[in-house]
Structure 1
Amino acid sequence: MQVSKDILFHALHADGLLMLPNCADAGSARIAAAAGSKALATSSAAVAWSHGFADGSTLPRELLMASVKAILRVSSLPLTVDAEDGYSADPAQVAGLIGELIDAGVVGINIEDGTGAPALLAEKIRAIRAVADARGVNLFINARTDVYLHDQTTERVRETIRRAAMYQEAGASGLFVPCITTEDDIAAVAKATPLPLNVMACDGVPAPARLVQLGARRRSAGSALSAAMFGCVDTLARPVLASGTVAVAPYAPMDYSALNRLMTQ
């Protein structure tokens, strides 16, 4: 019997470390899948930049849905979508958007508290869980808390754990803590919550094998791959304008024929 994608995606967090090279569109999703990724995850920044919008809930809803549908067209892997803050402060509107994503075939989301009240994110999670349950989908709700992005005090671990409990009670499936890097903090948070802990690849984050020992269950690239790609384009575009030549790329370019074959699979 074929396992449904929502069940499969939950199972990927049960043991070891789920590594996710976040994608922006159908092309980068094909590359992530060909590289061996077990699931696909969008980065809100990467998707926004691919459409010429800034990150931060500015992307028009129809473009988000277009990107998601394009990714689902080219891959059968479980897909989780970074929904930022749900593009609304109204839990009902947020749940409506997530319902559209579920209907399209998405089995996981990120939803963040940002600088808002944790209680508001908890309300959004409850509304999302109700919508998912009504559709018979065990949506993986990855509750992102931005404590480490905005708080530089010694209370960050305690506050993160407090929010984790609140989000778990509301129906979250996982906890995403961007910019948590020290071994002690990662171990403390992982031990304090049953929610699978998601960390983001950044300077100072322990190696994958060590993250598993500390209790983390997911490591995502965030916007790093997209930023690197745009950096490469920027580096190459300047000499083209100056001299009409394409300089040596800072990254090895993919072979034209190989890339074209990949896009036709």
Structure 2
Amino acid sequence: MMAKLGFKPGQALGKSQGGGVSDQESNSKSGARAEPLNLVFKEDRGGIGLDSEKKRKFREEAEDAVKKVKQEEGDYRDRVRIERETRRTEAQFHAAQKVAERLDAEAETGDGETIQTKCGKTPTEHVEEESEETTSGSKISQPKVKVKPTLQINILYRGLVREREEKERSIQARHQLQTSLPSSFFPNPRLPGYDDPTLEREDKVALDNNTDISTILEQELDEEDPELDEFNALEPSERLDRIVQYLRETHHYCFWCKFRYETGEMEGCPGVTEEDH
């Protein structure tokens, strides 16, 4: 019946445009549908357009999931990079602390002062011994040590000194515990001593009650240091900048050149920052 009405397979319904144009070209230009609509039988009670809405939401969720994964990958890379830079800056600051402590110790001992900031194992220690003749002809050496309080140490490397003293205190605590145990492995156990709690630290040193330097430093470590806490709260880069500037201004030392210049002009140094070098 459709053929009798003039319909041909692949041709759209309606009057075709003339002018020698083929059926397919005329259909594409006019936008006519060349295929009939397919019948879709609904098997549920969903309304018209519900499936399309579900597909749209599903596509949006899938796109959001892909974007989230890409964003998390970028955030992870940034976080790893920042952590790596922070660790590197902390290591540089730790090295600069050692340099500043050593240079300050050299400057102080060069002026004739005797400084000690740790239990017998610091670069700032300088011991003067006096020899006295005894009746038997032997010599007794008594070291004179000036202990510098921890709170008077430069804030730039005070944390390094406190960390070193804390390690030394833990080692001494283990040693004292072992030597005080009455055991067959320790035939000479350490006897308990008397410590007057009413005396101040300076009084104990003045009375020479066999006060160990480690005991004095242990009391200092138990004290709070808000200035040090505030300094440690700064960013590692800012702490590094401060100690680098201190080395340049005080000792004419460039941390990046690893060289100590003779004058404050520091001729030959390319700059203050690491990027300048």
Q: What is the TM-score of this pair, normalised by structure 2?
A: 0.21
- The higher relative CO (CA closer than 8 Å, separation ≥ 6) is in 1
Kindly name which structure, 1 or 2, has the bigger radius of gyration based on alpha carbons.
2
* Bigger share in strand: 1
